[in-house]
A and B are shown apart, each in its own frame.
Chain A
């Protein structure tokens, strides 16, 4: 009898193949590390791809200065454990102008601190390939995204003019200044990610597990009071609830869910039994349909 690979083994192999191809063909690749669960899996796959060596590229975190403190701790720990260089980039211009999610609204804030910040970092280090942990199942416009996604010299994505992608033969050719975003997790779903984390015992930020945390209710979401920069609006009060996060980003923009799930199997159980998609907790997607596509064309991941 021949051994057939399971779906996770096949996804893993495909991702490792993609990561190795980038290292073989590009001069100066980088892995965008957002510290979330998808990044955790992507980093794990990179380590597997080059074992026993550490992955031969740095990690880059575009820090908006509003990330959860737990995320920052975890970031340092994983860089150390993997033996990789960690680059942290902050859009200092945005900081100087005092851009924050409270004063400028989520759309402008995301644009300045994330999209602009990312472009600055890519330009500064002259990376020619950047790994991202996006998955095609996350959002409709991503379903057509290539695994090797071409970006012009000003980082734009042109959905109408993508290179056809056949077999596992990826076209990695670019001209100076142009770059490729590479998505090794393209074919993974949220459930695959969780199952793989479980199977491979991949460490993730503790915020994914339920614990009693200080939260306020704002715009129908539970926002965690992660530091004293969160000013309470009239009528808001801090409550201590058992909550966890299905997705991680900037704490003022990331909604928690009430939950008692403090083990991985319980998290997966909850995920399978709930009926809302993970992106619901992100303020950024709440505008009109098609907004993600616009953001992507402008260079948002």
Chain B
């Protein structure tokens, strides 16, 4: 099905031409152990003819030797590659698989539902645009389903396929399917996905994988393959936000100075004005130079070489942008940090911070809180251990150009490297700058006479818990809805970003009224206050659900 065999045989040139416009989609599969991930991916590879006869012979032999299907073909063995994991019968790391159809090439990050789940999932998801979340139809949503959904939302995936697998084992029951789908939609609403597509499938039998299943006449939606082939994931970042992190300055001789890098967003043409984020110097693009001739225009995702009209000082680590819409340029980014190493984070210790523009020494000055990936609640912590996620404040040795991760995954991300072991110890995602922070949590009761009253009535269940007051002008009183009070009583914290120190009084008044404590911090040019309830036990998770994952 995957390749048009007839066209290949009759007119190979026409076929090759038709393949030139193919797009690329990266996705990730998530699920608990035994939900059927390996079987599902094995099927996709199989059905798109990515398995050759000699591999099939090996697969048949392996299926007899170590398969779980009583000697019948075990598609999962196509994937489970390393010897160690074969022996244990589990997937142990992130692996990348490839298949293609006539419309798209696919890169699948296959990640385990195993011990290092957070680290591996975040790794696999970092480059993915779609997540396929597997659920065993017999079990419905599990703690893991929630965890996986939270992690993929954290890493910026906007499109979810909820693949309700093993439908064959529940008699292709529509009602059960709908119940799981409804559960999921209710749970995932606060995570803000752009699309959620629920599919009734059997990875083992191939139902609704490539072709519509006769067993589910009640299901009108796309098959998994059809969805993957057609889902639109291109970012519509506006052309304005041109970003070129300068990776390398190409100087073969005195007459040529090219600035090389991969465009992180936006478009650029010769004649466009550009600005260097660090120095503020400006110039104009002279040429977009490539091996195949100069370009009229270059777009996000292309690795280009630009020459400029003026001799200005630019080196690796700088970022070129348009004149307006500059990036954040700061020594004090706030970020979600996923800790990936056995040795816990040492606040105050120097690490190497690698961003799209290079390596800068820096430290984590404070961990505001950690998020429990099972309950999405916050814990007050002094540090982060392996697989823990928190909101952290960094201090870099020199300012670096960033965008909020929510607007740009390439210029909003970083990794932390241990200076002594050189291990990659953490991944970070920069939050919105103070001026762009979310304002969703505020509901205002307008009244004609001052002071205004602002009632805090919803904290997004995601993870932010940041209340931005930097846009609020004049005097106001703060109040908390009962749900927020309960939330704080559980040990959660809320971070207020302040416009000026005068606002401190409103927060102090609130703390006094509600018997709360707060911590003041200066960050960069702004100030913030962390509000919490003293003496409460840290929030507890649901605890172990028995699966050990």
**Beta-carbon contacts under 8 Å, B379-418 to A:** 409-410, 413-415, 417
CB pair A17–B100 under 8 Å, yes or no, is: no
Residue with the greatest number of chain A CB neighbours at <10 A, chosen from B21, B50, B82, B236: B82
B262 & A13 in contact (Cβ 8 Å cutoff): yes
* In the bound complex, CA of A169 to CA of B245 (Å): 12
Q: Which of A6-40 contact B (CB under 8 A)?
A: 6-14, 16-17, 20-21, 23-24
Name B303's contact: one of A17, A54, A144, A175 (CB within 8 Å).
Answer: A17
Contacts of A290 in B (CB 8 A): 83, 86
Chain A proximity mask over B354-368: 1 for CB below 8 Å, otherwise 0 = 111000000000000
Q: Which B residues lie within 8 Å of A106 (CB)?
A: none
User: A7 to B415, Cβ gap below 8 A?
Assistant: no
What are the residues of chain B within 8 A of A162 when measuring CB–CB? 93
Could you tell me if A192 and B105 are in contact, using CB atoms closer than 8 angstroms? yes
* Dominant secondary structure at the A interface: helix
Taking a contact as CB atoms closer than 8 A, the residue among A2, A11, A136, A269 that contacts B96 in the complex is A136
Q: Is the CB of B23 within 8 A of A6?
A: yes
The answer to whether B8 has its CB under 8 Å from any CB of chain A is yes
Contacts of B105 in A (CB 8 A): 7, 189, 192
- Quick check: is B424 within 8 A (CB to CB) of the other chain? yes
Interchain CB contact under 8 A, A171 and B354: yes
Name A22's closest neighbour in chain B (CB-CB): B248
Check A268 against B252 for contact (C-beta < 8 Å): no
Does B231 sit at the interface, judged by CB under 8 A? no
Partner of A174, one of B16, B248, B262, B422: B422
In the complex, chain B residues whose CB is within 8 Å of the CB of A189: 50, 98, 100, 105
Within 8 Å CB of A289, what residues of B? 58, 62
A165 sits at the interface (CB 8 A): yes
* Chain A residues within 8 Å of B410, by CB: 167-168
In the complex the two chains form, is A268's CB within 8 Å of B16's CB?
Answer: yes
Query: Which of A126-134, A207-215, A236-244, A275-283 binds B?
Result: A275-283
Which positions 51-72 of chain A face chain B at CB distance < 8 Å?
A: 51-54
Is B414 in contact with A164, judged by CB distance below 8 angstroms?
Answer: no
Contact of B354 (CB < 8 Å), options: A14, A169, A195, A268: A169
A166–B22 CB distance below 8 A = no
A169 touches B289 (CB 8 A): no
B96:A187 contact, CB within 8 angstroms:
yes
> Are A4's CB and B247's CB within 8 A?
no
Q: In the complex, what residues of A have CB within 8 A of residue B120's CB? A: 164
Query: For the complex, is B278 an interface residue (Cβ under 8 Å from A)?
Result: no
B247 adjacent to A17 (CB under 8 Å)? yes
Evaluate contact between A51 and B104: CB separation under 8 angstroms: no
Which residues of chain A from 162 to 205 have any CB-CB distance to chain B below 8 Å in the complex? 162-169, 171, 173-175, 186-187, 189, 191-192, 195, 198-200
Interface residue? A137 (CB, 8 A): yes
The CA-CA distance from A289 to B83 in the complex, in Å, is 8
- Quick check: B96 and A53 within 8 Å, CB to CB? no
* CB of A197, distance to nearest CB on chain B (Å): 11
Inter-chain contacts of A168 with B (CB < 8 A): 127, 262, 356, 410
On whether the beta carbons of B299 and A3 are closer than 8 Å, the reply is yes
Closest to A136 in B: B96
Residue of B nearest to A146 (CB): B94
Binds B, one of A42-50, A89-97, A114-122, A225-233: A42-50
Interface presence of B321 (CB below 8 A): no
A50 to B9, CA, bound (A): 39
In the complex, the answer to whether A13 meets B414 with C-beta atoms within 8 Å is no
What is the total number of residues of chain A having a CB less than 8 Å from a CB of chain B? 71
In contact, B356 and A143 (Cβ under 8 angstroms): no
B122 at the interface (CB under 8 A from A): yes
Query: Does A265 contact B417, Cβ atoms closer than 8 Å?
Result: no
Across the interface, name the chain A residue whose C-beta is closest to B340.
Answer: A164
A141 in contact with B82 given A198-B16, A265-B12 (CB within 8 Å) = yes
Whether B8 lies near A273 (C-beta < 8 A) is yes
A13–B263 CA distance with the chains assembled, in angstroms:
10
A3 to B236, CA, bound (A): 11
Contact status B291-A47, CB under 8 Å = yes
Smallest CB gap from A160: residue in B: B84
B69 sits at the interface (CB 8 A): no
A249 at the interface (CB under 8 A from B): no
In the assembled complex, the CB of A4 is this many whole angstroms from the nearest CB of chain B, namely 5
Report chain B residues within 8 Å CB of A200.
292
**Count of chain B residues with a beta carbon within 8 Å of a chain A beta carbon:** 86
Q: Is A101 at the interface (CB under 8 A from chain B)?
A: no
Q: Tell me the nearest residue of chain A to B246, going by C-beta.
A: A24
In angstroms, how far is the closest chain A Cβ from the Cβ of B323? 21
Residue of B12, B22, B123 most packed against chain A (CB within 10 A): B12
| A248 CB to nearest chain B CB (Å) | 19
B8 adjacent to A20 (CB under 8 Å): no
Cβ of B81 within 8 Å of any chain A Cβ, yes or no, is: yes
Q: Which residues of B contact A24 (CB under 8 A)?
A: 247-248, 316
Asked if B218 lies at the interface with its beta carbon under 8 angstroms from chain A, I say no
With the chains together, A134 CA to B94 CA distance in Å? 18
Chain B residues positioned under 8 Å from A10 (CB to CB): 24, 301
| CA A192 to CA B19, docked complex, whole Å | 10
Cross-chain contact A169 with B415 (CB below 8 angstroms) = yes
The answer to whether the Cβ of A140 comes within 8 Å of any Cβ in the partner chain is yes
Q: How far is the CB of A173 from chain B (nearest CB, A)?
A: 4
Q: Contact: B247 with A273, CB < 8 Å? A: no
Q: Would you call B161 an interface residue if the criterion is a C-beta within 8 Å of the partner chain's C-beta atoms? A: no
B126 interface hit (Cβ, 8 Å): yes
Inside 8 A of A186's CB, which chain B residues have their CB?
96
Q: B110 to chain A: which residues have CB within 8 Å?
A: 143
Chain A residues with CB under 8 Å of B98's CB are 136-137, 187, 189
Q: Contact flags (1/0) for B223-261 with A, using CB distance below 8 Å?
A: 000000000001010010000000110111000101011
Confirm or deny: B279 has a beta carbon within 8 angstroms of a beta carbon on chain A: no
Residue of A nearest to B249 (CB): A24
Does B456 belong to the interface (CB within 8 Å)?
no
Interface status of B3 (Cβ within 8 A of chain A): yes
CB pairs A–B below 8 angstroms (26 shown):
A2-B234, A7-B22, A8-B22, A9-B301, A10-B24, A11-B24, A20-B247, A20-B261, A48-B290, A48-B291, A52-B258, A52-B289, A140-B82, A141-B82, A143-B81, A164-B120, A165-B123, A165-B424, A168-B127, A169-B354, A169-B414, A171-B354, A195-B16, A269-B8, A272-B8, A280-B52
Q: Please name the 8 residue pairs, one residue from A and one from B, whose CB atoms are nearest each other, closest first.
A: A140-B81, A53-B252, A16-B303, A7-B24, A173-B422, A277-B52, A143-B95, A166-B126
- Name B's A-contacting residues (CB within 8 A): 3, 5, 8-9, 12-13, 15-16, 19-24, 50, 52-55, 58, 62, 78-84, 86, 92-98, 100, 104-105, 107, 110, 119-120, 122-123, 126-127, 234, 236, 239, 247-248, 250-252, 256, 258, 260-262, 289-292, 297, 299, 301-303, 305, 316, 340, 352, 354-356, 409-410, 413-415, 417, 422-424, 427
Q: A16-B303, A164-B123, A167-B127 are in contact. List 15 more A-B contacts (CB 8 A).
A: A6-B20, A7-B24, A7-B100, A20-B247, A20-B260, A48-B292, A144-B81, A171-B417, A173-B417, A187-B96, A195-B20, A198-B16, A199-B20, A268-B16, A277-B55
